[in-house]
Amino acid sequence: MQKKVPYLFVLTGTIIVLFFMIIPLLTSLIPTFFSEGDLTFSQYTSFFKDSYNQSVVIRTIRISVIVMVICMLLGIPTSYFIAGVDKKWKGLLMAMTLFPLLTNSVIRSFAWINILGKNGIINSVLLKSHIIEQPLNLLYSEFAIIIGSVYLFLPTMIMTLIGVMESIEPEMLEAAETLGASPFVAFRKIILPLSIPGAIVGSTLVFTGTLTAYTTPQLLGGNQKMVLSTLLYQKANTLGDWTQASILSFIMIFITVLVMQGLNWLAKKVDRRVDQHA
């Protein structure tokens, strides 16, 4: 067969991705590095001088970190539990984890509007039991974004970790326990270190997912608690400020790549340490 054909396929795809992804990105982002024809970061320095912009960047990162930590704390025990049950139950539990993952993020955030809203469950329960007299403002807060994002990304963390948990041999735990370790100590000394490389991979997905999510912060944080993605949409669509939107785009990509590289590096390092111990 002609040698050129395989290249032809790859090239076609390359041209499509270049033309519809890379070039549009560059044409939007490159102008943010120029000011009156000079190559400069001045647009970025003035962006970061604005205290409102600062607060949005910091809030976005803070929310992403908190969500990542909560997902890890809840995801490690849950995936450990799922990996340990009988085959029949495991299928069901995995299907139950996948179901929210395959359900639209609008629906999943809508569920939390029903719970946290002024007329939501929490408020009506508290009002009826006379604990409070005025409904609480739970919605449009950082707390709401955090809980909605945990809800969104916890299944991702669990699915990433199940495979890792399954590969841990149960004999190791038994050995630890026959040697006198309590279940908790056995967990801390065996399961936890072995699951960390997987947890880092999961954390990358959760962190970058939370950082770039649009629907949940839009519905649960609104205009009061802006994050990078909602601010980007507002700048571009409501205010028509294309320059600021492009700056925000670059900042989002920059943080995403940075965190991915950082966590990948960490995962590799931890992996090597676990290998040495084994």
Partner 1 sequence: MRKQKGMTIIAIFVFLFLFLPLLLIIITSFGTESAIKFPIKGFTLDWYLNVFQTESFISGFKLSLTIGVLATLLALLIGVPISYVLNRYKITGKSQFKSFFLSPTIIPGIVVGYVLFQWIVIKLGFSVFIGLLIGHFLISLPYIIRVVGSSLEKMDVSVEEAAWTLGCTRQKAFIKIVLPNISSGIFASFMLAFVNSFNNVPVSMFLSGPGVNMLPTSILSFMEYNYDPTVSALSVIIMLLTVVMMVIIEKTLGLASIS
Nearer Cβ to partner 1 (16/273): 16
The nearer residue to partner 1, 116 or 200, going by C-beta atoms, is: 116
| Minimum CB distance to partner 1 smaller for 28 or for 141 | 28
210: which residues sit within 8 A by CB, 6+ positions away? 63, 64, 67, 68, 149, 152, 153
Minimum Å gap between C-beta 265 and partner 1 is: 16
Specify the residue, 43 or 97, whose C-beta has the smaller distance to partner 1: 97
The Cα 255–Cα 64 span in angstroms is 11
CB of 232 to partner 1, least distance (A): 6
The whole-angstrom separation of Cα 278 and Cα 197 is: 14
60 vs 169: CA distance, rounded Å: 39
Q: How far is the CB of 98 from partner 1 (least distance, A)?
A: 6
Contact 256, 264 (CB under 8 A): no
| Closest distance of CB 7 from partner 1, Å | 7
Q: Are 181 and 189 in contact (CB under 8 A)?
A: yes
- Closest approach, Cβ 194 to partner 1, in A, equals 13
If you ran DSSP here, which 8-state letter would residue 173 be given?
H
| Closer by beta carbon to partner 1, 129 or else 276 | 129
Among 28, 39, 36, 30, smallest CA distance to 241 is for 28
